């Protein structure tokens, strides 16, 4: 398994690439199929966010370790407009009617760890991790 | 001057020649050490024969694959009998010991030769002990996991009672992990049994926390995505309260008093019996 | 990659063959809208058995399709959502509210054929 896998996100097709790569990597690492699907879903959502708000960005996939624990780390990075109120963005709940990427609150629920650093005008970096049982 | 390989060959020949006697001594010492008490004498003898032969073969070839395979096989057979790791390691070390003593007796006349014999023998013998030990532990972990899985599966049975109708009785305390398993098993059950209605009976569940309550709601929604409706039965007032607290609209959930009532409702939905309203309408039309 | 659409009497069946990009989904929406109008179909089945994931965009689009087709007099039913996919969807909070769902093609047809009774109809 390579140290890091980068997937450039510039269009909707890249979302599919990113999540398929993420899923494959998760399976390779030993995640069960169901969990790999959840990881793919989280990747799909944050990638989609990049496409919708920042137009361009990247997804970085890498193995993570914490003592004896192994897991997958996904970083979604962009230099887009940034999120003004992160807390609020994480709260928009499950309303698909709003038409925004429901991604963030959903992705947060799917992963074990979830961090956002965002600066208006500068961009957003989301770091998420899922650990093997 | 003999080289290591040549020495090993000689050792192996010696061990093979004295097989019967050395094996007997080994079995005696196993009994003395009170190992493998869960096995009968015949079983110990039979396994001892195989282990001995495999051991010597590995000394000869240096190939541990065959030994690994044998160790796995042996583990599969004895773990369910309750044989423990320390016993397996114990008998392998005893064998190492028995053979070492035999070699010592043979070569003790020539101290230098004896040293070289042990230089050749010890690393090989240790590797064998390691291999068997590790295989046993791996296998044991696998068996334990399988048993745990089997228990879990038994404890959340998805029962098909009628065509297209599944019942999932849940008993006891459920935590998030079990709730998740439950959901997954149910969804698989819906697909495998082509169920259209599922009755989830939680009469036997004393209470649930909001995380598990959420799982319940998700289960209902996920089932719907697969084309199945869910009827919840045995909803206690405590659990109803928990659901309300997390914001569930109970009127949207199809909750029926008890399991029997739930099954009847399910049969109605499936068209196995007419709904009361339709019965009266039919009666009215006949009048 | 265009999704093949077959006509079965009064119904249309769209069988998704592989992972769909956003564009493919929108194309599907347009194709179905056109065909429903052309054939005056009463119902549409969208078979997603092959999909290993239905994300927020796909969910939104499927609901939009159902809505648009309803305006043209056709009922939509999504079939073939796999256990894992259903699980992931509810974890993400994605619901196909307003869209019918059934286990597979056979069930989907049965769903469309039954008169509105409110019993096993899942659309709310």
**DSSP output for B156-167:** S--EEEETTEEE
Contact C56 A48 (CB under 8 A): yes
Looking at residue A90, its pLDDT comes to: 76
B187 closest CB neighbour out of C87, C102, C120: C87
Task: Please report where in the chains the tokens 């799917």 appear, as a residue.
Answer: A110
User: For residues B257 and B236, what is the distance between their CA atoms, to the nearest angstrom?
Assistant: 9
Closest residue on chain C to B268 (Cα): C119
CATH of domain C5-113: 3.30.750.24
Contact C53 A105 (CB under 8 A): no
Q: Look at phi and psi of residue B257 and say left if phi exceeds 0, alpha if psi is from -120 to 50, else beta.
A: alpha
CA angle C47, C50, C53 (to 5 degrees): 100
pLDDT at C46 over 90: yes
Q: How confident is the model at residue C54 (pLDDT cuts 50, 70, 90)?
A: very high
A117 C-beta neighbours (distance < 10 Å), count: 14
Alpha helices in B156-271 (DSSP H): 176-193, 210-225, 237-245, 259-269
Contact C92 A110 (CB under 8 A): yes
Mean pLDDT of C21-43: 93
Chain C contact present for B269, CB below 8 A:
yes
Alpha helices in chain B (DSSP H): 4-17, 19-32, 41-61, 65-78, 85-107, 111-155, 176-193, 210-225, 237-245, 259-269, 276-286
Looking at residue B280, its pLDDT comes to: 45
Chain A contact present for C57, CB below 8 A:
yes
User: For residues B218 and B201, what is the distance between their CA atoms, to the nearest angstrom?
Assistant: 16
C14 C-beta neighbours (distance < 10 Å), count: 20
What is the assigned CATH class of domain B159-286?
alpha beta
pLDDT tens digits, A19-67 = 999 999 999 999 988 899 999 999 998 998 898 889 999 999 999 988 8
Q: Between C122 and C75, name the one with better pLDDT.
A: C75
Mean pLDDT of A15-21: 92
B29 contacts B44 by C-beta, under 8 angstroms: no
**ipTM, 2 dp:** 0.91
pLDDT at C119 over 50: no
C92 closest CB neighbour out of A15, A99, A106: A106
Where chain B has pLDDT below 70, the residues are 1-2, 148-157, 274-287
Q: Between B105 and A100, name the one with better pLDDT.
A: B105
A19 closest CB neighbour out of C53, C56, C63: C53
Chain C contact present for B188, CB below 8 A:
yes
Chain B contact present for C92, CB below 8 A:
no
Contact C103 B223 (CB under 8 A): no
Domain spans, chain C: 5-113
Question: Exposure of A103 by Cβ count < 10 A (0-12 exposed, 13-18 middle, 19+ buried)?
Answer: buried
User: For residues B269 and B263, what is the distance between their CA atoms, to the nearest angstrom?
Assistant: 10
Structure-derived torsion over alpha carbons of residues A101, A105, A109, A113, reported in degrees to the nearest 10:
100
pLDDT at A101 over 50: no
Domain spans, chain B: 4-151, 159-286
Contact C107 B194 (CB under 8 A): yes
Average pLDDT, chain C: 89
What does residue B171 show for φ and ψ, rounded to 5 degrees?
-125, 135
Of 1.10.490.70, 1.10.1760.20, 2.60.40.1220, 3.40.50.150, which CATH number belongs to B4-151?
1.10.490.70
B12 contacts B117 by C-beta, under 8 angstroms: no
Domains, chain A, with CATH or none? 4-131 (3.30.565.10)
C53 closest CB neighbour out of A44, A96, A105: A44
pLDDT tens digits, B94-152 = 888 899 899 889 988 888 888 888 888 888 888 888 888 888 888 878 877 777 666 65
Three-class DSSP category at A100: coil
C-alpha distance from A91 to closest chain C C-alpha (Å)? 12
Looking at residue B154, its pLDDT comes to: 58
Chain A residues with CB-CB distance to C64 below 8 A: none
Three-class DSSP category at C114: coil
Whole-model pTM?
A: 0.65
Q: Between C22 and B226, name the one with better pLDDT.
A: B226
Looking at residue B44, its pLDDT comes to: 87
Looking at residue B277, its pLDDT comes to: 53
Q: Which two tokens stand for residue B113?
A: 């030769």
Mean pLDDT of A101-128: 86
Residues 6+ apart with CB under 8 A from A43: A18, A19, A22, A23, A59, A74, A76
Q: Which two tokens stand for residue B119?
A: 């230089």
Mean pLDDT of C43-72: 93
What does residue A60 show for φ and ψ, rounded to 5 degrees?
-115, 130
Three-class DSSP category at C43: strand
C88 contacts C51 by C-beta, under 8 angstroms: no
């Amino acid at each position: 398994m390579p140290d890091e896998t980068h997937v450039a996100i510039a269009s909707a097709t890249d979302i599919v690439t990113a999540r398929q790569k993420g899923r494959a990597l998760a399976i390779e690492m030993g995640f069960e199929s169901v969990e790999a699907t959840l990881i793919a879903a989280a990747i799909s959502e944050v990638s989609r966010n990049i496409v919708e708000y920042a137009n361009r960005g990247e997804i970085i996939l890498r193995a993570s370790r914490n003592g004896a624990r192994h897991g997958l780390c996904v970083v979604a990075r962009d230099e887009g407009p940034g999120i003004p109120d992160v807390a609020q963005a994480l709260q928009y709940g499950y309303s698909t009617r709003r038409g925004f990427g429901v991604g963030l609150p959903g992705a947060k629920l799917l992963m074990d760890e979830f961090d956002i650093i965002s600066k208006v005008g500068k961009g957003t970096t989301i770091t998420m991790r899922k650990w093997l049982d | 001057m003999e080289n290591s390989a040549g020495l090993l060959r000689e050792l192996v020949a010696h061990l093979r020649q004295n097989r019967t006697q050395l094996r007997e001594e080994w079995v005696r010492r196993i009994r003395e050490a009170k190992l493998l008490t869960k096995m009968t004498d015949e079983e110990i003898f039979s396994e001892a024969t195989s282990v001995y032969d495999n051991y010597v073969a590995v000394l000869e070839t240096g190939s541990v694959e065959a030994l690994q395979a044998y160790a796995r096989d042996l583990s599969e057979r004895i773990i369910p009998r309750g044989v423990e790791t320390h016993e397996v390691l114990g008998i392998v070390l005893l064998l190492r010991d028995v053979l070492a003593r035999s070699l010592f007796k043979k070569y003790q006349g020539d101290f230098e030769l004896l040293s070289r014999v042990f230089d050749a023998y010890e690393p090989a013998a240790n590797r064998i002990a390691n291999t068997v030990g590790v295989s046993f532990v791996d296998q044991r972990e696998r068996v334990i996991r399988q048993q745990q899985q089997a228990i879990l599966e038994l404890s959340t049975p998805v029962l098909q009672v009628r065509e297209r109708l599944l019942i999932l009785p849940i008993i006891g305390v459920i935590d998030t992990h079990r709730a998740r398993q439950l959901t997954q098993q149910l969804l698989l059950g819906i697909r495998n049994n082509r169920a259209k209605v599922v009755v989830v009976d939680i009469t036997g569940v004393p209470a649930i926390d909001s995380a598990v309550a959420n799982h319940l709601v998700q289960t209902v929604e996920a089932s719907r995505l697969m084309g199945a409706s869910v009827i919840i039965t045995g909803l206690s007032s405590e659990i109803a309260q928990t659901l309300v607290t997390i914001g569930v609209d109970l009127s949207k959930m199809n909750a029926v008093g008890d399991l029997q009532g739930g099954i009847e409702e399910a049969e109605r939905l499936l068209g196995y019996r007419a709904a009361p309203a339709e019965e009266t309408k039919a009666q009215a039309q006949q009048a | 990659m265009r999704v093949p659409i077959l006509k079965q009497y009064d119904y249309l069946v769209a069988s998704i063959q592989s992972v769909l990009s956003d564009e493919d989904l929108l194309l599907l929406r347009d194709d179905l809208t056109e065909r429903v109008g052309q054939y005056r179909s009463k119902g549409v089945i969208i078979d997603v058995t092959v999909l290993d994931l239905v994300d927020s965009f796909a969910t939104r689009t499927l609901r939009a399709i159902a809505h648009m087709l309803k305006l043209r007099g056709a009922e939509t039913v999504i079939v073939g959502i796999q256990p894992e996919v259903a699980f992931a969807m509810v974890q993400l909070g994605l619901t196909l509210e307003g869209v019918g769902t059934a286990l597979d093609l056979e069930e989907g047809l049965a769903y469309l054929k039954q008169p509105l009774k409110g019993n096993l109809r899942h659309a709310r």
